[in-house]
Structure 1
Amino acid sequence: MKITTIGLGYIGLPTSILFATHGHQVVGVDVSPTVVEKLNQGFIHIEEEGLQALYNEALAAGNFKAELVPAPADAYIVAVPTPNKEDRYQSCDLSYVESAIQSIIPYLAVGNIVIVESTIAPRTMEDVVQPMLEQAGFTIGEDLYLAHCPERVLPGNIAYELVHNPRIIGGVTPNCTEQTKAVYQTVVQGELIEASASEAELSKLMENTYRDVNIALANELAKIGTDLHINALKVIEMANRHPRVNLHSPGPGVGGHCLAVDPYFVAAASPDFSPLIQTAREINSSMPAFVVDATKQLMQEAPTNKITIFGLTYKGNIDDTRESPAMEIAEMLAFQGFDVATYDPHVVSATLTIEEACQDSSLILVLTDHFEFQIIDSKATAKMAAPRVLDTKNVVKTLASDVTRMDFGSMYTYMQTALAKQ
């Protein structure tokens, strides 16, 4: 089968490689000449475990090439970004999806399958995408098959999960579902779940909204614990020993293009009936300011004005900084006059060595749970002005004996000490 994928980012590229390594002829399309050139030179442009090896396999088989414009195909997969609009509810910006659909219309033929994998607002397929294709002269479900098949993968493990996770096949009509299911059966070993397009859209959004709401509860608990001088991390640990309780872990905020974005699409579609979702978003969005306020208190009588941030990505062991609370915290601290140094072994733009980032610093602020941060070597902390670590991800396991480690369970003790000296 010939497949054209529109968008070669964190989902589009792995999806393209997956189909290419299963015998399909894939053309990957991206608007970035730099991305297209790098891929055609044999190198992927994102960090993802095992993906370069699979890409090498696809190239060796002659099953993949990158282009700037679409090509005729049997199936088209749209995997472009869907950012938030700057409106009251931060609703879904469909401009990239609409542009992608317009770009493939000249190449469409009777019998083609059009699949939207991009995360979209409820009823987008029926109210936006379907009319665009019908206006081009196609009858959906008869001579053109249209479906929404949202990705459900964990960054850092995408190559495995694309194959083994259950996949929702949300056809606009039952015939669309059947035709699209046949495409994914060639690569997916997990269950293929048949659904309507609208059910698929809302299911994807609620999967991430569920996680966002539960993280908000943990983050609110971290604030409560700080206010009441109670170790919130110990509370979570004990509560989770109850057989029917599973509290999440607090952190410096929620990032990425799923949890920090998708709940807004639900709230915007039904604002009068989503107060819990909206409140959870407010709580999680407030965490960077909470971390900054705590940091300011800890730096009240610090010997230097320098803070070292460990981790710029929104989650551990990847290079993705989209919607990252760490980036927001770094900007907020710099704006308030602190000398901010950043260290992240996964981000190319973070050029300092760990020793350079920590020298003369009065606080290491751990904002991402990279494996590299589980052990912070004494070489990194030896030349700090004040050897202290605030671990907002509860990831640090080993430190030199002279380093003070704080976290969301213990930082209130040190914050009160700082306040008492004012």
Structure 2
Amino acid sequence: MKITVVGLGYIGLPTAILFAKYGNKVTGVDLSPVMTANLNAGLIHIEEPGLTKDLNEALALGNFQASTTPVSADAYIIAVPTPNKDDLYKSCDTAYIESALTSFLSSLKKHDTIIVESTIAPRTMVDVVQPLIENEGFTVGEDIYLAHCPERVLPGNIMHELVHNPRIIGGITEKCTEKATAVYGAFVEGEIIKAQAGEAELSKLMENTFRDVNIALANELAKISYHLGIDALRVIEMANKHPRVNLHQPGPGVGGHCLAVDPYFVIAVAPEQSPLMQTAREVNNSMPAHVVAQVKAMMAEQDGNTVTLFGLTYKGNIDDIRESPAMEIKELLTESGFNVKAFDPHVISATLTGEEACEDSSLIVVLSDHSEFCEIPTNYTDKMRTQVIFDTKNTVQTVGEDVTYYNYGNLHQAKKQQQAVTI
């Protein structure tokens, strides 16, 4: 089968490589000539275990080629970004999808299959994608087979989960569903869940909205516990001993292209029916400012002005800074007049070493749960003016004996100390 994948980001590239690895002739399309040239030379631009190995295997088989323009294929997969619009409810911007589709419309022939993997708002397939195809004279379901097949993978384990996770296939018609199912049969070993397009759209959005709402509950609990002088992490630990309770962990906010974005796609199409989702977004969006307020209170006791951020990504052990609350916290602290230094071993632009980032610092704020941060070496903290750590991810397990350590469990103790100093 000949397959063209438009969009070679965190989902499109692994998808394209897997199709090629499993014997299909794949053209991966991206607008960047530098990126496509690097991919053809076996060099990837994202951090994902196993991806480089599989790319080079696909290249050796002669089954993968990156290009800046689409080529004629039997199946086309769209995996481009769908950002929020700058409107009241941050609705879904389909401009990249429309552009991707337009790029290969002239190559379409009868009985081709088009699959949209990008996360989209409900009714996007029917209201946006289908009309663009039928304006070319095709009838969807008869001439062209159209489906929405959202990904549901965890960064850091994408290559395994693309193969083994259940896959939702949401066709415009039953025939579309069957044709898209046949495409993914090339490598998917997980359960195939056949659905209508609208069901697939809303299901993917609700998976991420569920997590967003539950994280908001944990973040709100952290604020309540701080106010009451109670250990939030101990409360969560005990509550989760209940066989039917699974409270999430609080953090500095919610990031990434999924949890911080997808709920708005539902909110925008049904604002009056989604008050809970809107409140959850407000709570999670408030966390960067909450963290900055705690940092200001801690730094008010110090004679220094340097704050060190450990981690810029939205989650651990990846290089993705999209919608990362750490980036917002960095900006807010800088605007507040602090000298902000950052250390992130997974982000190329964060060029400082741990020792360099800690030199003359009065506070380390852990914002990503990288495995490298489980232990904070003494050669880092020995460089600090004041050895204090505020761990917003509860990821640090070992620190030097001279280090004062705070997380959402004992943060209220810092508050008491600050009040005592004020008195």
TM range (shorter): over 0.9
2:226 corresponds to 1:195: no
Secondary structure class of the residue paired with 1:304:
coil
How far did 1:382 drift? Answer: 0.7
Percent identity between the aligned chains? 64
* Structure 1 runs not aligned, ≥5 long: none
Aligned pairs for 1:315-334 within 5 A? 315-334=315-334
Alignment check: 8 A CA contact 1:121 1:265 kept: yes
Q: Measure, in 1, the Cα distance between the counterparts of 2:103 and 2:160.
A: 30
Alignment check: 8 A CA contact 1:303 1:386 kept: no
Secondary structure class of the residue paired with 1:406:
strand
Q: Measure, in 2, the Cα distance between the counterparts of 1:215 and 1:310.
A: 21
2:114 corresponds to 1:108: no
Letter in 2 for 1:66: A
2:158 corresponds to 1:158: yes
* Superposition TM-score, scaled by structure 2 size: 0.99
Q: Measure, in 1, the Cα distance between the counterparts of 2:251 and 2:59.
A: 40
Letter in 2 for 1:409: G
User: What's 1:417 paired with?
Assistant: 417
1:232-290: CA deviation from partner (whole Å, max 9, x where unpaired): 10000000001111100000000000000000000001001000000000000000000
User: What's 1:80 paired with?
Assistant: 80
User: What's 2:282 paired with?
Assistant: 282
User: What's 1:336 paired with?
Assistant: 336
1:125-159: CA deviation from partner (whole Å, max 9, x where unpaired): 01110011000111111111000000000000000
How far did 1:417 drift? Answer: 1.6
2:137 corresponds to 1:137: yes
Alignment check: 8 A CA contact 2:212 2:260 kept: yes
User: What's 2:205 paired with?
Assistant: 205
Alignment check: 8 A CA contact 1:213 1:280 kept: yes
Alignment check: 8 A CA contact 2:40 2:59 kept: no
Q: Measure, in 2, the Cα distance between the counterparts of 1:99 and 1:358.
A: 45
Aligned pairs for 1:26-175 within 5 A? 26-175=26-175
Alignment check: 8 A CA contact 2:216 2:284 kept: yes
Aligned pairs for 1:7-26 within 5 A? 7-26=7-26
* Structure 2 runs not aligned, ≥5 long: none
Alignment check: 8 A CA contact 1:27 1:70 kept: yes
How far did 1:31 drift? Answer: 1.1
How far did 1:64 drift? Answer: 0.5
Q: Measure, in 1, the Cα distance between the counterparts of 2:301 and 2:276.
A: 40
Secondary structure class of the residue paired with 1:393:
coil
Letter in 2 for 1:264: Y
Secondary structure class of the residue paired with 2:89:
coil
How far did 1:420 drift? Answer: 3.6
User: What's 1:376 paired with?
Assistant: 376
Q: Measure, in 2, the Cα distance between the counterparts of 1:275 and 1:253.
A: 19
Aligned pairs for 1:244-283 within 5 A? 244-283=244-283
* Superposition TM-score, scaled by structure 1 size: 0.99
Aligned pairs for 1:224-235 within 5 A? 224-235=224-235
Secondary structure class of the residue paired with 1:417:
helix
Alignment check: 8 A CA contact 1:297 1:419 kept: no
Letter in 2 for 1:210: F
Alignment check: 8 A CA contact 1:17 1:64 kept: yes
User: What's 1:395 paired with?
Assistant: 395
2:249 corresponds to 1:243: no
User: What's 2:360 paired with?
Assistant: 360
Alignment check: 8 A CA contact 2:255 2:325 kept: yes
Alignment check: 8 A CA contact 1:389 1:406 kept: yes
Count, aligned residues: 422
Q: Measure, in 1, the Cα distance between the counterparts of 2:297 and 2:362.
A: 12
